[in-house]
Amino acid sequence: MRRSAKVLLTDAIDAAEAISAITAEIDSATFTASRLHRSSVERELLIIGEALNALDGICDDAGDRIPDLSKIIGMRNRLAHGYDTIDAEMIWAIAIHSMPALSVGLRSWLSDIV
């Protein structure tokens, strides 16, 4: 069954907000040392990548709405298939620097379709 754009956007927003919550009270050293934190963030990134990949398949303007769409989907693929190439510092940087802007963009998109 094909999921709606609204459901997919909500899934991606929830995952982005979960990443922000996971990383809110820790620093990069704690994140790097904690498999629990790293795994949690990586799981949420997988969800974001899956949801946005599905959105790309059903929404013609997905790439216009999410400028880094191909990078996000690529990160999902790397997490799923190239786990041994994942660097904790890179994941931390994505979590800290990319999630706030992504959340804003996803929320804006969701408000346009609700």
54 pLDDT exceeds 80?
yes
Q: Which two tokens stand for residue 98?
A: 């990319």
- What is the average pLDDT across 20-33? 96
Task: Report pLDDT for 84.
Answer: 87
Residue 41 and residue 28: Cα distance in Å, rounded?
A: 13
Distance of CA 13 to the CA centre of its chain: 8
Per-residue pLDDT tens digits for 3-24? 899 999 999 999 999 999 999 9
Every domain of the chain and the residues it spans: 5-113
Per-residue pLDDT tens digits for 84-111? 889 999 999 999 999 999 999 999 999 9
Residue 45 and residue 76: Cα distance in Å, rounded?
A: 7
Rg of the chain (C-alpha set): 14
Do 69 and 62 touch, CB atoms closer than 8 A?
Answer: yes
- What is the average pLDDT across 56-66? 93
- Say what the pTM is: 0.94
Task: Report pLDDT for 104.
Answer: 95
Residue 10 and residue 97: Cα distance in Å, rounded?
A: 20
Contacts 24+ apart (CB under 8 A), 27-33: 28/89, 28/92, 28/96, 31/88, 31/91, 31/92, 31/95, 32/88, 32/89, 32/92
CB atoms within 10 A of CB 98: 18
1 pLDDT exceeds 60?
no
Task: Report pLDDT for 114.
Answer: 67
